[in-house]
Amino acid sequence: MSALTPASEVLLRHSDDFTESRVLFAGDLQDDLPARFETAASRVHTQQFHHWQVLSAQMGEDAQYGLVADASTLGDCNTLIYYWPKNKPEAQFQLMNILSLMPVGSDIFVVGENRSGVRSAEQMLAEFSPLNKIDSARRCGFYHGRLEKQPQFDEHSWWDEYQHNDMTIKTLPGVFSRDGLDTGSKLLLSTLTAHTKGKVLDVGCGAGVLAVTLAKHSPKVRLTLCDVSAPAVAASRATLAANEIEGEVIASNVYSEVNGRFDMIISNPPFHDGLQTSLDAAHQLIRGAVRHLNMGGELRIVANAFLAYPDVLDETFGNHEVIAQTGRFKVYRSVVMRGVKKR
C-alpha cells in the first residue's frame, strides 16, 4: 500500500469536490489515500486486515476493520466513496450493509477499474442510488448518485454452506472458494495423512475447509487458523462450530498476529491482492515460516505450477520437495532442519 492505485488517481482528479464532505471510505482500499485525502472528516471501514493495519496507523480509531459496518462506524458521514472490488457478491454485501446505514440524500461515489466489473454498480444500485458516470480515466470508471432509498440488510441472509466429505462448510461473499472446494486445495488435502498430531497453523484459511478436513481424520491436532479477510475469519469460525471442531481463528496479516510455534503450517496462499498480481503474502508466508515452526516442523503449501516458489523455499529452508502435482498445481513441502536461520 504505497503507490496510489489507478482508482485513487482518478479520485484525486476530483479532490476539490470533497473538502467539505464527511466521507466514509470502504471497499477495496489498497493504498493510503483515505488517510491523506482532504475532507471535513474521513472514516474507513475495511474487511481486509492488512489494509486496516496501514490506515489505522495514520487514522487511529477512524479506521475500522470487521465483517460489517454499524452506526458507530459511519458516525455523521454524509458521503460514501466505495472502491469496487473484483468480487461482485462481496461488493453487494458491503454496499447493502453500508447503504442501509447512510442517511437518505447522502452522496454515493463508486470508483473502480473497468476490468473489475465496476460498470455493474449502476445496475446493482439502481433501486437505491441511481448512478451516473462522472469520469473515465486510467481504465477506471467513477460514478456518482444520491441515496434515495435505504436497502434492508440482514447479515444472516448472506450466509451459505456446502457439504464436503460429510462436513458442513460455511461461507460468505468474498471468501475464497465460496461455492465449493477449489482444485488446489483438493490436491493439498490429498497429501495430508491420517493421525497427524501436534499444532497446525492454517494461513489464509478461507472458509476453514483445510483445517476441518485435517481435524476430522486427525482429531489430536491443535488448530490455529488465520486470514486477512473478515468474511474468511467469520466463515472459518462458523465452519469449526458447525462441525464441532475446536480451534482458534484470528485476523492476521500472514504472521503479524500469530504467536508460538507449530509442527505444521499449511496454506493455499493467494497470489493476488485485489486485481493486482502480488506474491508478497506468499513470500512472507515462506520466509517467516521458520520462525513459527518447531525443529522438524514443516511448511506444506499448494501453488500454481508456474509460480517460482522453489528458489524461495530453498533459500529459506535449504530444502523442498514436490509431494503432489497436476498440470496446474504443485504441493511443496519444506522441513526445518538444524542450521536453518530463523530470521
Mean pLDDT rounded to a whole number for the chain: 93
Q: How, if at all, do strands 321-325 and 329-335 pair?
A: antiparallel
Question: Does the pLDDT of residue 273 top 60, yes or no?
Answer: no
pLDDT in tens, 66-100: 999 999 999 999 999 999 999 999 999 999 999 99
Question: Does the pLDDT of residue 272 top 80, yes or no?
Answer: no
pLDDT in tens, 95-138: 999 999 999 999 999 999 999 999 999 999 999 999 999 999 99
DSSP character string of 205-252? -TTSHHHHHHHHH-TTEEEEEEESBHHHHHHHHHHHHHTT---EEEE-
Grid cell for residue 333: 513441502
Give the pLDDT of residue 115.
95
Type of residue found at 323: I
Locate all alpha helices (DSSP H) within the chain, ordered by sequence: 6-12, 33-36, 49-59, 71-74, 88-99, 120-124, 183-190, 209-217, 230-242, 280-289, 310-317
Superfamily of domain 159-336: Vaccinia Virus protein VP39 (3.40.50.150)
CA 237 to chain centre: 15
User: What percent of the chain lies above the pLDDT cut of 70?
Assistant: 96
Q: Which of 97-111, 116-130, 182-196, 284-298 has the lowest mean pLDDT?
A: 182-196
Q: How many CB atoms lie within 10 A of CB 37?
A: 18
Question: Does the pLDDT of residue 160 top 70, yes or no?
Answer: yes
Give the pLDDT of residue 179.
74
Question: Does the pLDDT of residue 339 top 70, yes or no?
Answer: no
Question: Does the pLDDT of residue 1 top 80, yes or no?
Answer: no
Residues contacting 55, CB < 8 A, separation 6+: 29, 32, 34, 35, 44, 46, 63
Angstrom CA distances, 60 to 25, 35, 63, 64, stand at 14, 10, 6, 9
What value does the mean pLDDT take over residues 4-25? 97
Q: What angle do CA 148, 155, 67 make, to 5 degrees?
A: 100
Question: Does the pLDDT of residue 274 top 50, yes or no?
Answer: no
Give span(s): CATH 3.40.50.150, the chain.
6-151, 159-336
Does the domain made of 6-151 have the CATH classification 3.40.50.150? Answer: yes
Q: Are 253 and 280 in contact (CB under 8 A)?
A: no
Stated pTM of the model? 0.94
Give the pLDDT of residue 271.
60
Residues contacting 287, CB < 8 A, separation 6+: 312, 316, 343
